[in-house]
Structure 1
Amino acid sequence: MIRLKKMKHEEFEDYFEKLVRYYAIENVKSGRWEESSALEKARMEIDALLSEGLETKNHELLSIIETDNNQTIGYLWLHIFPRMEKKGFIYDFVIQKEYRGMGYGKASLGALEDYAIELGVENLSLHVFAHNSVAVALYKKMGYEVTSMNMAKQISNK
């Protein structure tokens, strides 16, 4: 059904730009950022995390390949904490729209878990925006549990 492979340099640039736009949009939707500065903030945060691009130490940038047609259907970004033994963090996970709702998300997370185990990881965590109910449902179905929660209230329009 799917396999994971290391992202190629030619894929990274396009992935990076889409990630910046998506992260900016999600932060605006969640109320964390103003639209006017969201792209700049997103680019700065992601640049800081991936300071060496694909070669950034302790970061695994993976393409999700649909094996029947050998097409890239999504991407995963896994960080392995160097000082926190056996812990990993999923910074990004995306399945292209035309492949959603077909079981690829579940299969991809399962493959990522197997990949992480091979790297010595025993615990994975992630962040998901609360308004992304489809992703929240998938993560719950895959056994992920809420470990902390951010809350906000707009008070300037009382």
Structure 2
Amino acid sequence: MSDVTVRAARQDEYDVWFEETAAEFAAEQVASGTWTEDEALEKAREGQRGWLPQGLATPGMLLLIGERDGTPVGRIWIGLTHPRGVPDCAFLYDIEVAAEHRGRGLGRALLRAGEAVAREHGAQALELNVFGSNATAIHLYETAGYRVTTQQMRKDLGEESAAP
């Protein structure tokens, strides 16, 4: 298994992360039918600014860079306070392995490193949301011991939409 260490993100890394993550989240929202393409990017940026009003200095938020042998391979964003107030439970907002480093077990190692940091900060559990269309992430979380605690479902109701 690949070893990954994590360190706090620098400002330049945060600036790039902020824009990339907003664009990715906006695209997921458009693909899932939640937002329109016209509004998605600005809504994603607004949401991130809401969660990170002080950027890297936002209390209780960890923006970490995963490294293997000194080379950045990914990033992880963990909130030490759960957004719905679940006691002793941190929240994983984002995790991503850089495209050129995927397929080597680094996602699992990065997740494990993030879990360790959350534990060091007193978290007894780590929760996350994952888009239903992200089979790779779902598989990672299931095989890492995560279980479904809630589930949201959707059906588009077009003119011809009918139950089978």
Aligned equivalent of 2:88, options 86, 89, 93: 86
CA deviations 1:61-118 (Å, max 9, x no partner) are 0001112xx1111110000117543210000000011111101011111111111111
AA in 1 matched with 2:61: H
Residue 143 of structure 2: aligned partner: 141
Q: Which runs of 5+ in 1 are unaligned?
A: none
Task: Give the 3-state SS of the residue equivalent to 2:157 in structure 1.
Answer: coil
Pairing of 1:109-120 with structure 2 (within 5 A): 109-120=111-122
Q: C-alpha displacement at 1:10, in angstroms?
A: 1.5
Is 1:71 matched up with 2:110?
no
Sequence identity of aligned pairs in percent? 34
Work out the CA distance in 2 between the residues paired with 1:6 and 1:115. Answer: 11
Work out the CA distance in 2 between the residues paired with 1:56 and 1:157. Answer: 46
AA in 2 matched with 1:27: Q
Pairing of 1:56-67 with structure 2 (within 5 A): 56-67=58-69
Task: Give the 3-state SS of the residue equivalent to 1:43 in structure 2.
Answer: helix
AA in 1 matched with 2:151: M
Residue 13 of structure 1: aligned partner: 15
Work out the CA distance in 1 between the residues paired with 2:55 and 2:13. Answer: 11
Work out the CA distance in 1 between the residues paired with 2:94 and 2:159. Answer: 33
Pairing of 1:29-40 with structure 2 (within 5 A): 29-40=31-42
Count of residue correspondences: 156
Q: Which runs of 5+ in 2 are unaligned?
A: none
CA RMSD of aligned residues (A): 1.2
Work out the CA distance in 2 between the residues paired with 1:34 and 1:2. Answer: 37
Residue 97 of structure 2: aligned partner: 95
Residue 26 of structure 1: aligned partner: 28
Work out the CA distance in 2 between the residues paired with 1:53 and 1:128. Answer: 23
Aligned equivalent of 1:53, options 52, 55, 78: 55
AA in 2 matched with 1:24: A
Aligned equivalent of 2:45, options 43, 46, 51: 43
